[in-house]
């Protein structure tokens, strides 16, 4: 992985190559995943481990689960967000996806319900029947909350491979030979049709050039 970073103030760039080894999670992919939009942070502010732990503690109080962990962190600019104005305190916004093996709490379910989405479309506050434990460190835009429930896909058994050695006494049965085909009609069509078209074009061109001259 090649990481290219730049300084916001001096625009200096730094390149670093990272070797990342990806291994499956011990408990598998968490079936319950929630994505939060943090409006008052930039993506680099949520990369430190300590900041993520604080975010997970606030999420645990709302989710009512303890086995939470961060799955993905994405800048809002990569999801179609606008570049913030050059005003002090404006941030890009960060999408943080958190996973758990426990079900969503009633607070999260109500915040992502169709009734809450309808209130957001009217410019009203979404439905949330619990205390916002993210404030004031993290400003969560609850209208952008996304809850996903991922079910494990069934594993299709693969083919059973043998030893590759013919058993003693067995006879090899070759595949049935294909019946001989008559290729002459196809050959004639492929050859005669272009020749006939070329002959017609030659006759038409000769007629136009020889019989359509002025005074003839």
HSE at residue 115, side-chain half, CA atoms within 13 A, is 6
Write the pLDDT tens digit of every residue in 128-140.
777 788 888 898 9
On whether the CB atoms of residues 46 and 98 are closer than 8 A, the answer is: no
Mean pLDDT computed over 157-174: 69
pLDDT > 70 fraction of the chain, expressed in percent and rounded: 87
Q: Is the pTM of the predicted complex or chain greater than 0.75?
A: no
Quick check: helix, strand or coil at residue 95?
A: strand
Number of H helices, E strands in the chain: 4, 6
On whether the CB atoms of residues 139 and 58 are closer than 8 A, the answer is: no
Quick check: helix, strand or coil at residue 20?
A: coil
On whether the CB atoms of residues 56 and 69 are closer than 8 A, the answer is: yes
Distance CA 14, CA 11 (A): 10
Does 166 score more than 70 pLDDT? no
Confidence of residue 25 (pLDDT cuts 50, 70, 90): low
On whether the CB atoms of residues 142 and 128 are closer than 8 A, the answer is: yes
More confident residue, 33 or 129: 33
Q: In angstroms, what CA-CA distances link 154 with 23, 27, 30, 46, 151?
A: 20, 17, 16, 35, 9
On whether the CB atoms of residues 98 and 60 are closer than 8 A, the answer is: no
Distance CA 141, CA 123 (A): 12
Which residues touch 84 (CB under 8 Å, ≥6 apart)? 90, 91, 92
Distance CA 111, CA 137 (A): 20
Does 8 score more than 90 pLDDT? no
């Amino acid at each position: 992985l090649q990481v290219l970073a730049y300084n916001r103030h001096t625009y200096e760039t730094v390149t670093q190559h990272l070797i990342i080894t990806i291994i499956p999670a011990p408990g598998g992919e968490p079936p319950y995943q929630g994505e939060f939009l943090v409006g008052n942070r930039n993506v680099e502010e949520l990369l430190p481990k300590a900041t993520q732990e604080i975010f997970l503690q606030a999420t645990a109080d709302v989710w009512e689960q303890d086995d939470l962990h961060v799955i993905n962190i994405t800048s809002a600019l990569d999801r179609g967000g606008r570049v913030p104005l050059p005003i002090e305190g404006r941030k890009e916004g960060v999408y943080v996806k958190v996973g758990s093996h426990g079900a969503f709490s009633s607070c999260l379910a109500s915040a992502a319900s169709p009734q809450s989405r309808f209130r957001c479309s009217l410019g009203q506050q979404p439905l949330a029947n619990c205390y916002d434990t993210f404030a004031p460190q993290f400003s969560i835009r609850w209208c952008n909350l996304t809850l996903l429930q991922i079910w494990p896909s069934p594993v299709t058994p693969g083919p059973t491979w043998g030893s590759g050695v013919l058993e003693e006494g067995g006879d090899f049965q070759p595949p049935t030979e294909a019946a001989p085909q008559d290729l002459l009609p196809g050959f004639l069509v492929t050859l005669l049709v272009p020749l006939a078209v070329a002959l017609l074009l030659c006759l038409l061109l000769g007629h136009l050039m020889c019989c359509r001259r002025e005074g003839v």
